[in-house]
Amino acid sequence: TISSRMEAHYTFEKEIKKLILYIVKNDIKKLEDAKGVLCCHKENLTNQIFKLISSDFNIKKPTEDVIEFHNLMTTVYKETVQTTYNILENLRNHISTFSFPETEIDNRILNYLSIAQYFSVLEEEYFAKILCDKAEKLAAGDTIFNFFKLVMDVEKLDFANAKKYYSLPSNKQFELGLNFTELIKIYINYVETLANETTFNQAMENLIVSLREEVIAFPNELCYWVLLHCIFKYCSYLPGTNYTRWKYEQIELEVEPKLPLMPASRFMLMNPYEIKAPITVKETLFLKVFTILTSLGLYKFAVFVFKELEMSCQPFERYLTLTTLKILSNEVLTNYQPKTFPVTKPLEKYFITNINGHLEYSRGAIDYAIQNYWKLLMNDHEISSSHYLLALLRYGFHMLKIGNYQEAVEAFQKCDSDDTELIAKFYMAKALFIE
């Protein structure tokens, strides 16, 4: 049928793209660099070619003897090679994305979107959109911009707009990020099902089914195997826990989990503290996966992975991380109490004050939030303000709102990062003008 022919061509092209993605992401120069993993890709590709032959080529051109079959194989070879070449040509402009380019235009796009993130968190969506539009114009059709937009929509829980990405034509989607966009799709379905469950554990059951399907589609993606391992462990399913551990231990020798260069994430805006805990190989791997999940806005998935890290963290590190994930997931925090810890380093004290301020702010206790932000403002250069820029901006915005222009200026003057300089100068000028 036409549908089976189309599906066969689609799955073949998808397999080619996955193979290209793996080679590019892991900088494979020769077969020996990843022979074991590439053999799996070869087997999958062979199966897809068999489906192409049975669903399309052999139907259009039936064979009755060895010579006709040989001629058919020649046709199959020529057409699949041409298809592969066309895919490579289409992806050529995006390959460099995973080589972490730093051209002036790349940096400007990321800078615009990072500033837009701040504006969005500050509820200034009008200015956020202006900067996103500027970034889109600079991207000039580069599909990675659509990927960035997808992630930013997921981060702010705007799933309705995020799902529009999946309706885009394939040439508008970021093919080299297919493994991430599929994971994001699973996350959206999980969160929406979780919010509207009609039967017990429906969301979890659907999630496990989806992840098991994706580890077949992406057998060498560590994020999938690690996440599935953590979920099986959370559910106390020992066979699944053991099998997924065996899988990620096999793969991690050849695969490095990483994202393309991304705009500043909401997680880092709110909590720039870097966990210091990992000491084992497993903890190092899990932290990398955790960082990828938070960078993609997949906060509820990140919680599952963090459960495997938290016992190695100090109490204040657990508090910082889990509180940030709760805030960004928009959980009900009415009875969630802010905490303090007997830390010895000034920086750790300021990180705790910072997240307590954001906790109060997120549940509408603005006066308490401002008290915490004020403590950060009063830091007399003991600690760099780059660790709590969002807190200073929120403090400045509130002072501007209530007419305390001098304190607003003081807060904006301390926002000296590249990502916040534009915002700080704009609103500082506004405060000085009104004053």
Q: Specify the range with the lowest mean pLDDT, choosing from 145-154, 255-264, 401-410.
A: 255-264
pLDDT at position 47 over 50? yes
**H/E element holding 222?**
helix 222-234
What distance in Å separates the CA atoms of residue 20 and residue 401, rounded to the nearest whole number?
52
Per-residue pLDDT tens digits for 51-92: 888 888 888 888 888 888 888 888 888 888 888 888 777 766
Model-wide pTM > 0.85: no
pLDDT at position 380 over 70? no
pLDDT at position 372 over 90? yes
Place of tokens 């669903």: 55
Name the pLDDT band for 99 (thresholds 50, 70, 90): very low
pLDDT at position 101 over 50? no
pLDDT at position 102 over 60? no
Closest CA to 305 of 239, 408, 224: 224
Instruction: Provide the angle, in degrees to the nearest 10, between the axes of the packed helices 346-362 and 366-377.
Output: 160
User: Do the Cβ atoms of 338 and 360 come closer than 8 Å?
Assistant: yes
Name the pLDDT band for 172 (thresholds 50, 70, 90): confident
Per-residue pLDDT tens digits for 211-226: 999 998 888 889 999 9
Q: How many CA atoms lie within 13 A of 29 on its CB side?
A: 0
Mean residue pLDDT of the chain comes to 87
* In the chain, % of residues over pLDDT 70: 91
Residue 382 DSSP class = S
The residues spanned by each domain of the chain are 2-93, 105-207, 341-434
Average pLDDT over residues 347-368: 94
Average pLDDT over residues 179-189: 96
Residue type for position 19: L
Burial of 384 (0-12, 13-18, 19+ CB in 10 A): middle
What distance in Å separates the CA atoms of residue 428 and residue 435, rounded to the nearest whole number?
10
**H/E element holding 181?**
helix 178-195
Residue 164 DSSP class = G
Residues 6+ apart with CB under 8 A from 217: 18, 182
What distance in Å separates the CA atoms of residue 45 and residue 37, rounded to the nearest whole number?
13
Q: Give the alpha-carbon dihedral of 66, 70, 73, 78, to 10 degrees.
A: -160
> Residue 209: its pLDDT value, please?
96
Tokens of 339: 């905490």
User: Do the Cβ atoms of 306 and 322 come closer than 8 Å?
Assistant: yes
Average pLDDT over residues 103-113: 83
pLDDT at position 39 over 80? no
What distance in Å separates the CA atoms of residue 167 and residue 181, rounded to the nearest whole number?
12
User: Do the Cβ atoms of 293 and 264 come closer than 8 Å?
Assistant: no
Per-residue pLDDT tens digits for 290-348: 999 999 999 999 999 999 999 889 999 999 999 999 999 999 888 899 999 988 788 89
Per-residue pLDDT tens digits for 405-424: 999 999 999 988 888 989 99
> Residue 100: its pLDDT value, please?
44
Residue 141 DSSP class = T
Domain 341-434, CATH among 3.40.1350, 1.25.40, 1.10.3470, 1.10.8: 1.25.40
**H/E element holding 371?**
helix 366-377
What distance in Å separates the CA atoms of residue 298 and residue 98, rounded to the nearest whole number?
21
Tokens of 365: 């206790």
What distance in Å separates the CA atoms of residue 320 and residue 322, rounded to the nearest whole number?
6
- At 160 the three-state DSSP class reads helix
* CB atoms inside a 10 Å sphere around CB 194: 14
Q: Specify the range with the lowest mean pLDDT, choosing from 34-48, 236-250, 305-319, 417-431.
A: 34-48
Average pLDDT over residues 118-136: 95
Residue 56 DSSP class = I
Concatenating the DSSP letter of every residue in 236-293 gives T-HHHHHHHHHHHHHHTTT----PPP-PPPHHHHH--PPP----SHHHHHHHHHHHHH
Residues 6+ apart with CB under 8 A from 421: 415
Residue 265 DSSP class = P
